[in-house]
Amino acid sequence: MQGKEIRKMVYHQYEQGFHCAEAIARTVLGRFSGEPHPEAIKIASGFGGGIAGSTRELCGAFTGGVIALGCLLGRELPSTGLKDFATVTKEFRQRFLDTFGELTCHRILERSDRQQNPYGCVKLTAQAAVMVCALLGELEARRQLDLIAKRTLPVEMITAGQCPFGGCAC
């Protein structure tokens, strides 16, 4: 699926009344799982506009992307690994920062001119969705996976004190 199609999917989510976190989660999950994932969308509901519209926290497009990644690559049992999730999420964070310069909603909004570009959040969300979809496509190619076919990802067991995210001792 090309970036233009993904952006159209995000725009369609906004037209239906979904906000940034919900729109990206619905788009990515629809593209890679073929399932609606209503629980994930409910979770994403609180993250729009930097958590409940405060704009003071993480950008909803970023958090919605992480929610979608968690649904697709996260784990259900503590004994299974997070390597793919950690790798893709770290890369999404870096690409997001490289593109938008910030993760905080209000700082991103301050950088954009809302008078000249009132659809800035919609475009940002669409661009972030393209990023997440590209990362998942890269993972599928690298690992010879088909997330839509729901082939289970081979997992690596983890040991306490060896967090796959690094930088912590969980």
Residue type at 51 in one-letter notation: I
pLDDT digits (tens, 9 = 90+) for 2-24: 899 999 999 999 999 999 999 99
Would you state the structure tokens that stand for residue 52, as one six-digit string?
């409940």
- Evaluate whether 93 touches 59 at the Cβ level (below 8 Å): no
pLDDT digits (tens, 9 = 90+) for 31-40: 998 887 899 9
- Evaluate whether 136 touches 88 at the Cβ level (below 8 Å): yes
**Domain segments of the chain as ranges:** 3-143
Predicted confidence at residue 81, as pLDDT, reads: 80
| Average pLDDT of span 108-132 | 81
